[in-house]
């Protein structure tokens, strides 16, 4: 029986675990290890911030959906991997005592480490800004947003240098504008979109179709002021200070932090802690380690004046996880491994009173097809997809599209 350990209980981790159990059945003992005992539908965190969702609407208990399918769940934090020995070490509870878990195969789907400390004053815990990348941060950001509705003032939304996920910041800029207009308060809230991207709609992938013109036009229509190609020096109470000397006052700031690899697995990767893989998402050195999602190292398509990273969306992460699971299955069963397809991206971005569909095939240029377009039907599609994916994960139906 093969011992397979999966690090992470989000999109990639659960998809890999469900697929592997379905493929291998009793031939594999699968353990999912995570310091978060919840699956969170991360694309809905902007809606939670705006008050359109509650935490219980978009979360599932990991153990409740894994154990009935014969998959063990360990609610502990991984602290390091020893690849030569094929072991994961975890720290359990308040004691922090380490335990070791041997594996025949390891699937890493740990997501990012949010590097707030790289910019003084950034972040909700030790700084002066809010964040949308975790459930707990989003709950706190919702509380801060409610205060703006009660006592309006300047708002700064955007992404700092080193970010590789720009979508939620764009969504929140549009959603905040729409909500303020609905309340007839927009004229009392100056709204600035601040980003490290060289131009609006770059998204870390060199743009998608007409995304540059799309974002420029829609921001102009809504009078959202944009500041591109910017690096942040520090955040002071009520003020964003940029490296070019510009100072932006704020009463509410939601700024995405730089991304780097999670400390437990970062030594397996590059200087930022992202891990190099081949086309099957296998570690380039350790052949029994597979990596999916944000933890994967993907080189940017072009150099940018201010550093930006390549996004790895939930859609992309699921495709990586399914490829990795299929390759492991083929090895265990002595079958021919599948040929991995090119990685593409599909993203639906809520815009408050409408939504946008963004597609790139493949994800990095040059592409066969690339498009950004808006329509009310895409908002309905985003709502439907949220319900569909939560249903999929709740019942372990990773084999569905």
Annotated active-site residue in 347, 356, 358, 364 = 347
Kindly report the number of other CB atoms within 10 A of residue 95's CB atom: 7
Q: Of 243, 225, 295, 237, nearest to 264 (Cα)?
A: 295
Quote the DSSP letter at residue 305: S
Annotated active-site residue in 165, 254, 294, 326 = 165
Distance CA(76)–CA(342), nearest Å, equals: 34
Indicate if the alpha-carbon torsion angle 99, 277, 295, 59 is positive or negative: negative
Q: What angle do CA 251, 259, 161 make, to 5 degrees?
A: 60
Is 226 annotated as catalytic?
A: no
Indicate the SS3 state at residue 133: coil
Is 165 annotated as catalytic?
A: yes
* Contact predicate 209/203, CB 8 Å: no
The dihedral formed by the CA atoms of 176, 122, 300 and 378, expressed in degrees to the nearest 10: -20
Distance CA(328)–CA(289), nearest Å, equals: 10
Write out the catalytic residue numbers.
Answer: 165, 347
């Amino acid at each position: 029986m093969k011992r397979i350990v999966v690090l992470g209980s989000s999109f990639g981790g659960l998809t890999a675990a469900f697929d592997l159990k379905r493929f291998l059945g009793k031939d594999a003992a699968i353990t999912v290890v995570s310091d978060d005992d919840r699956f969170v539908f991360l694309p809905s965190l902007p809606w939670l911030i705006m008050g359109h969702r509650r935490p219980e609407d978009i979360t599932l208990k990991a153990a409740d959906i894994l154990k009935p399918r014969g998959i063990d769940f360990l609610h502990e934090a991984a602290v390091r991997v020893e690849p030569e020995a094929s072991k994961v070490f975890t720290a359990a509870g308040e004691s922090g005592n380490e335990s070791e878990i041997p594996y025949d195969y390891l699937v890493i789907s740990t997501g990012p480490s949010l590097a707030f400390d790289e910019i003084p004053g950034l972040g909700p815990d030790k700084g002066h800004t809010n964040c949308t990348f975790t459930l707990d941060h989003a709950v706190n950001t919702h509380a801060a947003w409610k205060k703006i509705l009660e006592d309006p003032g300047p708002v700064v939304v955007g992404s700092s240098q080193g970010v590789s996920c720009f979508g939620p910041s764009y969504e929140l800029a549009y959603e905040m504008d729409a909500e303020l207009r609905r309340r007839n308060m927009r004229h009392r809230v100056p709204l600035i979109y601040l980003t490290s991207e060289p131009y609006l709609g770059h998204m870390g992938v060199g743009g998608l179709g007409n995304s540059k013109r799309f974002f420029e036009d829609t921001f102009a229509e809504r009078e959202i002021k944009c500041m591109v190609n910017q690096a942040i020096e520090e955040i002071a109470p009520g003020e964003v200070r940029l490296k070019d000397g510009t100072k932006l006052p704020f009463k509410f700031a939601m700024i995405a932090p730089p991304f780097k690899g999670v400390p437990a697995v970062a030594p397996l990767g590059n200087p930022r802690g992202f891990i190099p893989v081949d086309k099957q998402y296998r570690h380039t050195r350790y052949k029994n380690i597979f990596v999916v999602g944000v933890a994967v190292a993907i080189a940017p398509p072009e150099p940018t004046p201010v550093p930006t990273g390549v996004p790895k969306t939930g859609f992309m992460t699921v495709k990586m996880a399914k490829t990795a699971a299929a390759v492991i299955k083929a090895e265990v069963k002595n079958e021919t491994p599948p040929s991995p397809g090119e990685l593409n991206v599909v993203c639906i971005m809520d815009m408050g009173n409408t939504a946008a569909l963004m597609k790139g095939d493949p994800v990095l240029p040059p592409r066969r097809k690339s498009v950004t377009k808006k329509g009310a039907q895409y908002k309905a599609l985003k709502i439907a997809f949220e319900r569909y994916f939560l249903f999929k994960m709740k019942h372990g139906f990773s084999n569905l599209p």
